Amino acid sequence: MILPRVVVLASGSGTNLQALIDTLHGREVDIVGVGSDKPGCRALGRAEEARIATATFPIADYADRAARDAAMAAWAQEVGAQVVVLAGYMALLTPAFLDPFRERVVNVHPSLLPAFTGLHAIEQALAYGVKVFGVTVHLVDDGVDTGPVLLQGAIELPDATDPEEVHRAIQPIEHRLLPEAVRLLVAGGFEPDPENPRRMRRAVSSG
């Protein structure tokens, strides 16, 4: 059976990548490559342990971000990626990468979007004083965390004060929602919501 081909981009420890490997790889998708802007990051080690090809794209090797993203897109196309998953990839993607993969790039963000976009989302939420924290899986567009929402999950943490504490609490939500969103996306399980262009809804045929 030929599985949908997925490329994952990551910059850090790769726990969301590991969730994808553990739940989907070789079963419902074929993760054909893991790319990173951070040579030596733990995510690359996780990929190598799973015998998944890796590639690195440090910004210092390119004239600018667009040049780096074009090279990364060429690599993703070369390995046959049909869907790209950002699993803790900490650099904004330019149209040089996004254009070949429109509506096929998935990101996981540690807030209930549209609240607290960009970097340091948990710190932003704590500073605002929220008592409910969450995770959003969304499609990536040219904005900062502005693409259509696929799935969200939340947890009440009324006394939280420490970003690391919040991160540990929401990680299981990330590890559940990201694979579920990828599973649905590759199976055609989402369709645009005609009432709101900012979100996708479950396709009727997906049950």
Residues annotated as catalytic are 109
94 three-class SS: coil
> What does each C-alpha distance from 17 to 23, 41, 83, 115, 119 come to in angstroms?
10, 12, 14, 24, 19
Q: What are phi and psi of 74, to 5 degrees?
A: -60, -40
69 three-class SS: helix
Q: What are phi and psi of 35, to 5 degrees?
A: -110, 155
